[in-house]
Amino acid sequence: MSSASLKPILVVEDSTEDFTALGRAFRKHALQNPVLRCTDGDQALEYLQGYGRNIKWPAVLPAIILLDLNMPGTDGRAVLDVVKHDDALNTIPIIIFSTSSNSKDIEECYRLGANSYLTKPIDYAAMEEKVRLIVQYWLSAVELPSN
Amino acid sequence: MDRTGVIYTDESLVGAEITLTNCDREPIHIPGLIQPYGFLLCLHEQTRRVVQASANTQELLGIAAENLIGQGLDCLFEPARLVDIEAQLTTLAEGHRLVGVRLDKVTGQPFYKLILHRFDDLLWLEFEPVAETTDGPLNLPSLNDALGQMLAAASVVEFCAYAVQQVREITGFDRVMAYRFAEDESGEVVAEARHPDLEPFLGLHYPATDIPKQARAMYLKNWLRFIPDVDYVPVPLVPVRNPASQRPPDMTYSVLRSVSPIHVEYLKNMGVGATMTISLIRDGQLWGLLVCHHYAPRLVSYELRDLCQFIGKTFSALLKSKEQADDFAYQLRLREHQARLFGLLAEFPDFRKALYDHLPVVKDVFDCGGVLVSFDGELAAYGSTPTAPQMREIVEWLSKHATGELFHTNSYARHNPAGVAVRSVASGILAIRLDRAAGDFIIWLRPEVLQTVTWAGQQQKAEVMKDGQLHLSPRHSFAAWSESVENTAEAWKPIEVEAAEEIRLRIADIRLKLFNEIQARALQLSRLNAELERSNDELDSFAYVASHDLKEPLRGIHNYSIFLLEDYADKLDSDGVDKLQTLVRLSQRMESLIESLLQLSRVGRLEPDVQEVDLNTILAEAMEILQPRLEQTGTRVTVAHPLPTVQADPVRLREVFNNLLTNAMRYNDSAVKTVEIGVAPAGVISPRGSISPAAFHVLFVRDNGIGIDSRHHESIFKIFKRLHSQDKYGGGTGAGLAIVKKMIEKSGGQLWVESQPAQGATFFFSLPKYTS
């Protein structure tokens, strides 16, 4: 069990149904970490850039961020851009979890510094499988920075 | 006091021999000589005493001229008559006064006509005998008629014809002609009334030099000159020089003035015995002359001469209106012809064709011999024109040397020596340039004047020499004139040049309009294209965004159906479970439809990454991916190697092959499935017409599958169009061919199919050839 196990996982997802399915998949794979949800990019930045100062939010930064791209208002690309340019935040792995399989989107996200890019499959079984891989890889297989 | 502004003469020539070489400096106004049919006395203005007298007073009056010098008029007249004359003298000016007198103090008391005027500080008394010709009473009704005719004359030439007829009737001269001077001061006989036995001079031209400058200057002041007998021996004045001025007195207004010997010689050569000329003056310019010839001596009474002068003055007064009528008539005709041409230009959409097909209309705009129309080196001609090569030369010369929009000359040869070759038909050129770049012209041609002159005597040769002397004659004059107008056409009138410019502008307007229409159409097209592109882009973006947004709720539906199945299967009967499973299946199908739509929109939204592509390589890659399925379905693919190199997006091209090959396998019931890939034979025609073999390669993919009814040859390329139910032939989404078609079209090619049911299908697609 890595030190990351106590840190929360941040999910930035505007769709409640998608978040429900994600939560279901986390539960299925017995995720220990607390799951935080932001419903849009502004909220996510408020937490990430204001952590420790803003009592509404946890005083710790997340272990990893699961980021949806297409959201109303400030979208995932903007969040990714800000976080990866912020010296206090840019070490947090960001996993893009998006409907879009557009090569342009994929390319751009990696260019901005995304650590992974996964598409949301329609098939729930496939989705569950992807969540399992994320949890196993990011929360147990790899070493995360301790910030 | 009259002083001519220009002195043409040389007083040192007084008394010298006058020849053809110095005649234009001959001081004809001060010859110091008179014609002997009358006599002359010059009186001192104040003393009224004779200062000079003509030497023939001895002959006519029996008093020697010397004896008259210093005398008063009382030596000739009774006091009563003297009072009358004296009364005239006090108010005298240059204008003549006529008094019928009887020389009371001369033997036989003869009757004379006394013509008085004042000039050069002298009082002039010229005595003419009563005429030999018996003048009937003046025929006023016929004169009235004549003036009526002159007034009604519709043209200058008609006007001249009435005038010469009238003068001949009044005077009985054998021949009366109207001369008209041209711009270059040469003359032409434009009307003639003559005795039927005489050869006609009508149409005769003579050079400017035939009437010397100083004579013309005098004709402007003194309207009528009269020589009753050309064989006269001139009589000198006594003394020849006026004592006050020390030169012969100025005889400009004198009736008896002796004329130039050169002129007399000319008349004698023609066999003329008596002559009278009347000036025709327009706006202070000598316009022409009425010239009377008689082939025997003829004394015309002063009164009749005065009447002829009246006709001359009437003529002069009316002349301008007649010329205006002429101009107006020509203008009217010009406008009519111009309007006809403009009508044609407006009627025909192609103005060149309008010109080419109606050359006579183009020519008739002006009085000319012929017309050339030249567009893009294509020549069309009508009327009297030179040979085709000569015409080309004219066009070439104009292209090079006529720098302006309009060029006109009445002597092309003067500008271009080579023009001599075409002078008979093209001495005059009026050209309008229709296009700066190309040698596009309309050119009207006028023949050399000599070609159009009609004088009966023009073909006979002038007798140049006679006893080693230059022999003056009309024929000689004509020859001299001909020489002076070689290579010259009738000049283009200002109004003609104006009309040509109007035609040029009209055609330029039409050209501009056409150009603007084309521009406007191009603009409209590019606008439509841009709009189409934008709406295409919008559609593609819409499809992209919509499909993306649709996926999310769809995923929700799918997932929640799964959760229901997972969490509540035990609470549902089999029918409920079945419905939920259907819901799951339908959401998956919908997802694949949306995915196809996304793909298609992606093809439209992304610019293809165009590069040099070797089709052999691309096909090999596609085949490699499809290998398992090809083996599974037992499909034999034959490729007519080598395939060409094209200009396309390699990734998309692989997609094209992948798609077409998949379809060939899929829609095939044959035991042995075959697919043939190759280059279509040249001259293959797409539904949109032929394809340029220089720019495109055309490829084909042929299968031995189930074929496609021609009804569907278009619709199969529409998105989601399937010809079969979902449970047949692997149940694709129906987007494949739409995507392929869009890919091909995005790279500039076309895609179409040739097929019949049960006979396999051949898909053709064109791709641009590679250009580095």
Cβ atoms of A51 and A36 closer than 8 Å: no
Contact B552 A99 (CB under 8 A): yes
Q: What are phi and psi of B445, to 5 degrees?
A: -115, 140
- Whether residue B559 and residue A124 make contact (CB cut-off 8 A), yes or no, is yes
Residues of B in contact with A104 (CB under 8 A): 606
Report chain B residues whose CB lies below 8 A from the CB of A102. 544, 598, 602
Non-local CB neighbours of B196 within 8 Å, separated by 6+ positions: none
Q: Is A126 at the interface with chain B, CB within 8 A?
A: no
What lies within 8 Å, CB to CB, of B762 at 6+ separation is: B700, B701, B702, B703, B753, B754, B755
Residues of chain B with pLDDT under 70: 1-25, 131-138, 436-438, 456, 459-472, 731
User: Which residue's structure tokens are 């005298």?
Assistant: B92
| List of chain B residues whose C-beta atoms are within 8 Å of the C-beta of residue A99 | 548, 551-552, 555
Question: Widest CA span of chain A, in angstroms?
Answer: 41
Residue for token pair 């020697």: B64
Q: Are B723 and B665 in contact (CB under 8 A)?
A: no
* pLDDT for residue B12: 63
* Interatomic CA distance for residues A109 and A107, integer angstroms: 6
Q: CA separation (Å) from A59 to A55, B216, B394, B763?
A: 8, 124, 98, 64
Give residue B24's pLDDT: 65
Q: Which CATH architecture has domain B348-491?
A: 2-Layer Sandwich (3.30)
Cα B732 from chain centre: 73
What residues of chain A lie within 8 A of the CB of B562, using their CB?
124-125
Say whether B609-768 and B1-132+231-271 share the same fold: no
- Mention every residue, 6+ apart, whose C-beta is less than 8 A from residue B247: B11, B14, B30, B241
**Chain B CA closest to residue A68:** B552
Q: Is B679 left (phi over 0), alpha (psi -120 to 50) or beta?
A: beta
Confidence at residue B134, expressed as pLDDT on a 0 to 100 scale:
55
pLDDT at B19: 65
Could you tell me the mean pLDDT of each successive run of 10 residues in chain A, 147 residues long? Answer: 67 90 91 90 88 74 92 86 93 93 89 95 90 93 86
Of the partner residues B551, B552, B558, the one whose CB lies closest to the CB of residue A124: B558
pLDDT of residue A5: 47
Decide if A119 touches B, using CB distance below 8 A: no
Cα-to-chain-centroid distance, residue B553: 78
Superfamily designation of domain B609-768 = Histidine kinase-like ATPase, C-terminal domain (3.30.565.10)
Among A13, A15, A17, A104, pick the best mutation site for testing chain B contact (most B Cβ within 10 A): A17
CB contact under 8 A, B591 and A24: no
CA distance A92 to A107: 19
Question: Is A3-141 a CATH 3.40.470.10 domain?
Answer: no
Q: What token pair was written down for B88? A: 């005239």
Q: pLDDT digit string (tens) for B479-492? A: 888 888 888 999 99
Taking the C-alpha atoms of residue B495 and residue B498, their distance in angstroms, rounded to an integer, is 5
Q: Is B601 strand, coil or helix?
A: helix
Contact state of B551 with A99 under an 8 Å Cβ cutoff: yes
3-class DSSP state of B471: coil
Classify each residue of B244-264 as buried b or exposed e, where b means 16 or more C-beta atoms within 10 Å of its C-beta. eeeebbbbbbbbbbbbbbbbb
In chain B, which residues have their Cβ closer than 8 Å to the Cβ of A120?
551, 555
* Closest Cα in chain B, distance from residue A16 (Å): 9
State how far residue A70 is from chain B, nearest Cα, in angstroms: 9
What is the DSSP annotation of B361-395?
A: HHHHTSS-SEEEEEETTEEEEEES---HHHHHHHH
* Number of helices (H), then strands (E), in chain A: 5, 5
Share of chain B above pLDDT 70, in %: 93
- Domain B1-132+231-271's class? alpha beta
Does the CB of B559 have a partner CB in chain A at under 8 Å? yes
Closest CA to B128 of B108, B100, B107, B104: B100
Contact B558 A123 (CB under 8 A): yes
Q: Does A77 touch chain B (CB under 8 A)?
A: no
Q: Where in chain B are the domains?
A: 1-132+231-271, 348-491, 493-606, 609-768
Rounded Cα distance, B178 and A137, in Å: 124
Hey, where are the domains in chain A? 3-141
Alpha-carbon span A77 to A69, nearest angstrom: 6
